[in-house]
Amino acid sequence: MSLLNLENLTATYGVSQALFGVDLTMEEGEVTALMGRNGMGKTTTVKAICRMIASEGGLSLDGQDLHGLPSHRVARMGVGLVPEGRRCFADLTVRENLIAAARPGDWTLETVFQLFPRLGEREGQRAVSLSGGEQQMLAIGRALMTNPRLLILDEATEGLAPIVRQEIWAALRKLRSETSVAILLIDKSLAELSAVSDKAVILERGKTVWSGPMAELGNDITERYVGV
Ligand code: ATP
């Protein structure tokens, strides 16, 4: 049984339909890139998985239907989200932000600080005083503290300096090689996405138009659907 399964998923914002049939399957420990041009439905797909928007069609985690469950239940089932725009508690310290998210498992303050040593150095600082890159590391650290089975990152390197982006990609490579967490990634950097992902799923106008092993994703497909 797959870890995550979306089958012909549809979703609407009020009267405006955004997803028209998303198919996506993920196995444990697998890294999947969710790709497509702006406005094609990537963030909406993530919101549907996390039950932040109503949807119809197949949506299950470990074979359990997620429809009808509130977001916090989906989080407790093992879905950790690093949302677009970070969203840490600005007035809490790094340590407090991490502890607030903690659930039992291998990820603890210590292991998060091993992955992102800068967070350890700033553990007593309020989140608001961190740089953009450090806030992003904190957002990833918070999601890891929930000890997820599926980690979702929506544009985690957006707007960051190249050197900080590299630190985040290095951390993702480490998660891939050293842990069994499955990762669903949305990012604009095709080169980095291709290097770290096992699979790709491409959306066009709210529908899956291509999916398969990253190694089989040819230039013709990326030119056509991702605009490179
Ligand atoms: P981007 O890379 O720009 O974030 P995306 O692929 O994540 O794009 P979505 O944000 O999921 O795309 O948007 C899919 C469609 O839903 C778009 O047509 C968008 O205009 C629409 N949409 C997104 N958010 C809302 C909203 N809150 N209300 C109404 N329509 C929305």
Q: What is the pLDDT of residues 92-117, one digit of tens each?
A: 999 999 999 999 999 999 999 999 99
User: What is the reported pLDDT for 85?
Assistant: 78
| pTM for this prediction | 0.95
Residue at 105 is within a domain: no
162-178 vs 132-145: helix crossing angle, rounded to 10: 20
Q: Show the domain range for 201.
A: 1-78+148-163+183-228
For the chain, how many structural domains are there in total? 1
Top mutation candidate among 20, 40, 55, 209 for ligand 1, by most atoms within 8 Å of CB:
40
Q: Whose CA is nearest to atom 3 of ligand 1?
A: 38
Residue at 220 is within a domain: yes
Residue at 117 is within a domain: no
Domain CATH for 42: 3.40.50.300
Residue at 56 is within a domain: yes
Q: Whose CA is nearest to atom 26 of ligand 1?
A: 13
Residue at 194 is within a domain: yes
Ligand 1 atom nearest the C-alpha of 41 is 11
Å from CA of 205 to ligand 1 middle: 10
DSSP one-letter string for 142-173: HHHHT--SEEEEESTTTT--HHHHHHHHHHHH
Band (87; pLDDT cuts 50, 70, 90): confident
Residue at 152 is within a domain: yes
Residue at 188 is within a domain: yes
Whether pLDDT at 228 is above 60: no
Check: CB of residue 201 under 8 Å from CB of residue 221. Answer: no
Rg of the chain over all Cα atoms, to the nearest angstrom:
17
Residues touching ligand 1 (Cβ under 6 Å) are 13, 16, 18, 36, 38-44
